[in-house]
Amino acid sequence: MNDKYYYSLGRRKTATATIRLYCSEGSSTFNGKSLSDAFKDSYYLNLIAEPFKVCNLNPNDFHFTIVAKGGGIHSQVQAARLALSRSLILMNPDLKKLLKTYKLTTRDSRMVESKKTGFKKARKKEQYSKR
């Protein structure tokens, strides 16, 4: 097996995904499980494969290992998609413009706002009573 790979990191909310993209055929894994075992729903498989579709690349020519931590399954998949896009750019810098037009290189920085002292939640306050 070819030991050369492209390593990237992707984040979304509190989820972090790291990827090793190999330019050879093989089975892809997500957190140690094959993609078909990790995702019973094809929606998540399509999200991960989106950078390949945009770049007109055959996903069967590549295999990758993704390790995702934190957040929920949807955030982990979106973090993995960003990491995959970044790996493809490392492999071929000419793909950057194409991936950018489909907004696949943008990190979604929206996070949950932290709770403040004296409030019930981040912004929810105690009800004001005049009397």
> What pTM does this model have?
0.89
Write the CA distances from 92 to 54, 69, 76, 81, integer angstroms.
14, 27, 24, 17
Calculate mean pLDDT across residues 40-51.
94
| DSSP state letter for 39 | -
What's residue 28's pLDDT?
94
What's residue 106's pLDDT?
94
The answer on pLDDT for 122 being more than 70 is: yes
Confidence band (pLDDT; 50, 70, 90) for 108?
Answer: very high
Minimal CA–CA distance to 51: which of 42, 62, 41? 62
Domains of the chain in start order, with CATH, are: 5-101 (3.30.230.10)
What's residue 131's pLDDT?
86
